[in-house]
């Protein structure tokens, strides 16, 4: 089935977001303590391959620069799925000058996706972060499925919508090669000051004063723009799995369009 990726540009699949790329040249792709390549499915990131169980991927996780310790938990609790608990060094996993944490996503006890997340970064740096990461992604994953320009005006509009709605505004870009698809997402949040209770009771005024002080303290960070924050996520998944999602989503959109035509 032909996949019309243009139909998917603003569909929720593009915000099924997250994490896991190593930008070209930022850190070595593998630590030398792990030399064997995975023999499971598609390699997603730094030796972590689709289909690995928690025990088999543990040596690769421990070898990642920035990881202090890693262990499999819930081993003796059959009613709860196993997962990998990771403890980081002080600076986490550094990619393109950002600190990331690793989130391994399993399906039926097998690795399905690898996510990396860098949260609560200064929003003023959004454009530069995008330039750095997208350049590395294009070099490593040259099949650009969707890349919307992330310029100053786009960022400011997203922050404006965030302040009005109180919710994060997500902008997602999708890169791929024949084996892996990578979703790069920026989730932007602009915090507004707490609502003034006016001539409320004394407790309300006290709580407002405290909240206002906290808001001003956060805003003073990032050179006075600390009320604007961005979460950056990188999500690795097998290209075949991504294409399957894309086909299903494309079919859903087609059905919605056909239903609309019937209603008109």
Phi, psi of 252 (to 5 degrees): -65, -45
* Domain containing residue 236: 11-192+227-263
Check whether residue 140 and residue 181 sit in a common domain. yes
**pLDDT number for residue 36:** 42
Structure token digits, residue 233? 């996520």
Name the 3-class secondary structure at 251. Answer: helix
Check whether residue 173 and residue 201 sit in a common domain. no
Check whether residue 136 and residue 213 sit in a common domain. no
**pLDDT confidence band for 38 (50 / 70 / 90):** very low
Check whether residue 250 and residue 209 sit in a common domain. no
| Helix, strand, coil shares, percent, the chain, to 5 | 35, 30, 35
Check whether residue 76 and residue 206 sit in a common domain. no
Q: Looking at the 3D structure of the chain, how many domains does it have? A: 2
Residue 113 lies in a domain: yes
Question: With 0-12 CB in 10 A as exposed, 13-18 as middle and 19+ as buried, what is 178?
Answer: exposed
> In angstroms, how far is the first alpha carbon of the chain from the final one?
28
Residue 119: other Cβ atoms inside 10 A? 14
Check whether residue 47 and residue 136 sit in a common domain. yes
Residue 12: other Cβ atoms inside 10 A? 11
* pLDDT tens track for 163-205: 989 889 988 899 999 999 999 999 999 988 888 887 778 888 8
Does the pLDDT value for residue 21 go beyond 70?
A: no
Find all residues with CB under 8 Å of 176, minimum gap 6, and list them. Answer: 141, 143, 144, 145, 182, 239, 242
């Amino acid at each position: 089935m032909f996949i019309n990726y243009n139909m998917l540009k603003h569909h929720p699949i593009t915000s099924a977001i997250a994490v896991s790329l190593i930008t070209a040249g930022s850190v070595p792709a593998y630590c030398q303590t792990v030399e064997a390549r995975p023999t499971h499915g598609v390699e997603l990131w730094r030796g972590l391959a689709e289909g690995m169980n928690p025990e088999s991927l543990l040596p690769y996780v421990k070898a990642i620069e920035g990881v202090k310790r890693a262990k499999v938990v819930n081993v003796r609790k059959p009613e709860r799925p196993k997962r990998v608990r990771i403890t980081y060094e002080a600076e986490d996993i550094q990619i393109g000058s950002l600190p990331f944490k690793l989130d391994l996503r399993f399906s039926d006890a097998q690795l399905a996706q690898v996510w990396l997340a860098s949260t609560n970064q200064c929003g003023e740096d959004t454009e530069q972060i995008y330039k750095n990461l997208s350049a590395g992604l294009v070099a490593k994953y040259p099949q650009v499925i969707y890349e919307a320009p992330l310029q100053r005006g786009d960022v400011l509009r997203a922050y404006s919508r965030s302040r009005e709605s109180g919710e994060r505004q997500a902008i997602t870009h999708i890169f791929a090669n024949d084996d892996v698809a990578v979703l790069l997402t920026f989730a932007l949040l602009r915090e507004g000051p707490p609502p003034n209770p006016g001539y409320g009771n004394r407790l309300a005024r006290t709580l407002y004063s405290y909240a206002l002080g906290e808001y001003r303290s956060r805003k003073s960070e990032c050179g006075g723009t600390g009320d604007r924050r961005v979460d950056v996520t990188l999500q690795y998944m097998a290209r075949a799995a991504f294409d399957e999602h894309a086909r299903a989503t494309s079919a859903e959109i087609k059905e919605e369009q056909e239903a609309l035509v019937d209603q008109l």
